[in-house]
Amino acid sequence: MRWLLLTLVAAGAGFWLGRTSLSDLPERFRAPTPHEQYAHQLEVAGLDGAALGRLWERAAERAVAEAPRVEAPFRETGYLDSSRPDAVGYRFSARAGQRLTFEVRLEPATNALIFLDLFRVRDTGPDGPRAERVASADSGVLRLVHEPSRDGTYLIRVQPELLRGGRYTLTATTEPTMAFPVEGRGPGSVQSYFGDPRDGGRRDHHGIDIFAPRGTPVVATTRARVRSVRTTPVGGRVVWLRDEARSQSIYYAHLEEQLVERGMWVEPGDTLGLVGNSGNARTTPPHLHFGIYRRGVGPMDPLPFVRPLATEAPPAFAAEPGSMRRVTEPETRVRTGPTASSGELDRLDREVPVRVLGVAGDWLRIELPDGRRGWIAGRLTEPASPLRTAWMDAPAPLREAPTAESPEIARLAPGERVDVLGRSGDHLYVRAGTRAAWLPLSAPE
């Protein structure tokens, strides 16, 4: 009923949500996301209370609660097991003025539904992050683009529909939403930043100063309308642009010459004027004062809007998602994220086998023998090839996990051969024929 009411409210208000559901709107006015619609379908089918439905919902919650912090550009090649509901999530910092792009590629390509949802993390408490959804990809679309309206921590969640999975590659990139405003220059030409003190600390700098030779072209950073061309005592010769798409104004000051007129439309790269030092900058070297102002916010730091960022993620460690690998060093640290500064989850002894769930740069996202998940440096592992061979001298159980309480999935007969692949506690990880499972340590001789 709630789902139907949300749909009717959104339709009645005439909301167009496009390819991404950009939602600074209150939650009660949003149309349900594809993820929410699918959850509703499970409810209608009576699966929300069944084991699979509950596991699917818990996987979604777990992906948010346990999402590690990463940095863009980020790329992970991973594996989602179709035999059990699963999801992955990642947290990262982003700033107003940047464009976030997330893409998922399935290998091989299928028509499986993959849900992409972006959240803004409000805060983190004892129960994990409190996240508010800000964007969702349309059903069947494996790409999500979003421009944050404010600085903060954001979280992307990827989840397939029930009983679907396989190999995937997720890429996350961050780029500026605008071109650099001085032709042939870049961030290295900025010598005064947003928030720097002015007039002995009586006021803050509301822009960035980009130094360049007198007469260097000053260009439009985005498609916009020229709102004002005038001369003022402080800014000297100035040009104001109105960026209608983002409901903000762009300010160019201290120009030597203005080359546009009020009311004109300009495109990125169009020349607006020339670098100078007019106004109260007449005692300084030629430079452009560049500012951005947004209604309800006031002056904003322009640097994230125009600073180019890296777009290529580091190359991936050579490990296959879905495969088993083995720890090679004693006291190997398992981290909560793919960095050496991430929190420590556990320490593993040599020969402990782990399942590779994903590969991101030099790090492996792994599942431990007890089901916990974390990250380990790939160089501290090796393929779980046989360490040695053993023969059974008595019947022995093969178990799902390395505990005496774990379900028995098979029983080995006397004289049967096993290949030992690893060890955890008082159990060996062995392969018997085509099966790989856990055997009590005292069983083989």
The whole-number pLDDT of residue 82 equals: 85
Q: pLDDT digit string (tens) for 276-300?
A: 999 999 999 999 999 999 988 999 9
Residue 242, H or E segment: strand 236-243
pLDDT bracket for residue 22 (50, 70, 90) = very low
* 8: pLDDT strictly greater than 90: no
- b vs e for 375-403, b when ≥16 Cβ sit within 10 Å of the residue's Cβ? bbbbebbeebeebeebebeeebbbbeebe
Query: Cα separation of 91 and 154, whole Å?
Result: 6
- b vs e for 312-323, b when ≥16 Cβ sit within 10 Å of the residue's Cβ? ebeebbebebbe
Q: pLDDT digit string (tens) for 348-403?
A: 999 999 999 999 999 999 999 999 999 999 999 999 999 999 999 999 999 999 99
The whole-number pLDDT of residue 48 equals: 72
Residue 70 has a CB neighbour count (10 Å cut-off) of 23
Q: Give the range among 76-90, 150-164, 192-206, 365-379 with minimum mean pLDDT.
A: 192-206
Average pLDDT over residues 122-135: 79
Q: Is-contact 313 279, C-beta < 8 A? A: no
Average pLDDT over residues 175-187: 97
What does the block give as tokens for 401?
């996990």
* 444: pLDDT strictly greater than 60: no
The whole-number pLDDT of residue 337 equals: 96
* 243: pLDDT strictly greater than 80: yes
